């Protein structure tokens, strides 16, 4: 049954996959370029793997700049070992508050987590840029001032929110991104046609989920410290409101049947930390005290979101336009074909 062509294809896929696993970037670049060419052949606006990877790259630019600014006080292109931000589309700058300074961390473990995450998100930018090669999009304009203020008003009902002001604020800022990253990679994974790209996306999805678990666990620990500026329940309360707001942005019209979260909230595809949960386990009544560190559905499976839903969250356009969405984190829009 296996034809010569199939064998050739399998050889190419396997070789490429192995190369990717051995951390060669040239092989992946070739794969992505193959996707680009295929699109031209098809003469249709069918999104290719490279489009999804570029969409992801826009989000990684956002995350990497947020974390590196938080820890080092500079954007990714100004690091001692700069990360590239050039590419196709319109290159933009990062808007920060006047006299910007890194987060004045007072908790050493939170600073350590921030530093680790800054490094990892930077590596995701570099990895995707290498994989995409000359097809990689440039860093779009990113706003880290008005964006958080807008979201704070929408989600928390407060006029201003500076995620760089303290440990606790930083964690809430990070919270806004990480679960979204999980749902974005999850939603795009099924659309990827090339196995190597799927594996890479799966691996980044896992790291985003690790980050989300790290941030949510850390928020719960800091919340439990009952700090003067954030009495117990304050930070977890924020997470619940932010999750509800994200879900609202992403779901102008709820699917049928509506999503149900692991914490039992119907009509939301997102769930903050709730320490009043009770679970049944192997018994017959919900008698075991629990929480919702996990952000998932009632099968304990993480939610997935389409690129349009992600665009609604990061640009505030809800529902998202077919193209040309801009606002909130991306004041000039995203670069690439998913925008």
Binding residues for other proteins restricted to 152-181, rule: CB under 8 A: none
Determine contact, residues 125/86, Cβ cutoff 8 Å: no
In the complex, minimum distance from the CB of residue 291 to other proteins, in angstroms, rounded to a whole number: 4
192-195 long-range CB contacts below 8 Å, 24 or more apart? Answer: 192/49, 192/52, 193/35, 193/48, 193/49, 194/13, 194/31, 194/34, 194/35, 194/49, 195/13, 195/17
24 or 86: CB nearest other proteins: 24
Task: Identify any residues that bridge with 94 across adjacent strands, giving them in sequence order.
Answer: 142
- Which one of the spans 67-75, 91-99, 183-191, 252-260 is the region binding other proteins (CB under 8 A)? 183-191
Closer residue to other proteins (CB): 149 or 291: 291
Write down the H helix ranges in 190-321: 195-224, 234-250, 307-315
By CB under 8 A, the count of residues binding other proteins is: 93
Site string for other proteins, 295-324 (x = CB under 8 A): xxxxxxxxxx--------------------
Report if residue 11 touches other proteins, rule: CB under 8 A.
Answer: yes
Among residue numbers 257 through 286, which ones bind other proteins (CB under 8 A)?
A: 262, 275, 277, 279-283
Toward other proteins, which CB reaches closer, 129 or 326? Answer: 129
| Element at 171 (helix H, strand E) | helix 167-189
Pick between residue 32 and residue 141 the one whose CB is nearest to other proteins: 32
DSSP structural state of residue 48: P
Given a contact cutoff of 8 angstroms between Cβ atoms, the answer to whether 161 and 97 are in contact is: no
Shortest separation between residue 158's beta carbon and other proteins, angstroms: 27
User: Could you give the CA distance from residue 9 to residue 131 in angstroms, rounded to a whole number?
Assistant: 20
The CB-of-193 to other proteins minimum distance in angstroms stands at 7
């Amino acid at each position: 049954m296996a034809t010569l062509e199939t064998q050739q294809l399998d050889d190419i896929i396997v070789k490429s996959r192995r190369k990717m696993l051995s951390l060669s970037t040239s092989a992946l670049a070739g794969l992505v370029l193959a996707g680009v060419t295929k699109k031209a052949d098809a003469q249709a606006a069918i999104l290719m793997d490279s489009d999804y990877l570029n969409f992801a790259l826009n989000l990684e630019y956002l995350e990497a700049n947020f974390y590196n600014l938080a820890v080092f006080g500079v954007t990714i292109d100004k690091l001692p070992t700069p990360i590239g931000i050039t590419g196709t589309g319109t290159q933009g700058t990062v808007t920060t508050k006047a006299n910007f300074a890194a987060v004045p961390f007072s908790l050493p473990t939170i600073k350590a987590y921030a530093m680790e995450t800054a490094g990892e998100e930077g590596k995701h930018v570099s990895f995707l840029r290498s994989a995409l090669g000359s097809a990689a999009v440039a860093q779009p304009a990113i706003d880290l001032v008005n964006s958080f203020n807008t979201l704070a008003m929408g989600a928390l009902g407060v006029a201003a929110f500076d995620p760089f002001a303290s440990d606790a604020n930083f964690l809430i800022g990070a919270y806004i991104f990480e679960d979204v990253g999980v749902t974005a990679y999850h939603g795009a994974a099924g659309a990827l046609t090339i196995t190597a790209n799927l594996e890479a996306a799966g691996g980044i999805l896992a790291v985003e989920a690790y980050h989300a678990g790290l941030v949510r666990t850390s928020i719960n620990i800091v919340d439990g410290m009952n700090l003067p500026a954030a009495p117990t329940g304050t930070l977890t309360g924020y997470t619940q409101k932010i999750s509800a707001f994200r879900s609202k942005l992403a779901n102008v019209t709820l699917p049928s049947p509506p999503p149900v979260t692991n914490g039992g909230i119907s009509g939301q595809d997102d769930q903050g930390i709730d320490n009043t949960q009770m679970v049944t386990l192997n018994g017959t009544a919900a008698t075991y005290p629990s929480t919702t560190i996990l952000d998932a559905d009632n099968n304990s499976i993480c939610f997935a979101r389409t690129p349009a839903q992600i665009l609604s969250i990061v640009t505030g356009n809800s529902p998202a336009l077919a193209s040309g969405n801009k606002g909130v984190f991306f004041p000039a829009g995203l670069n690439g074909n998913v925008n």
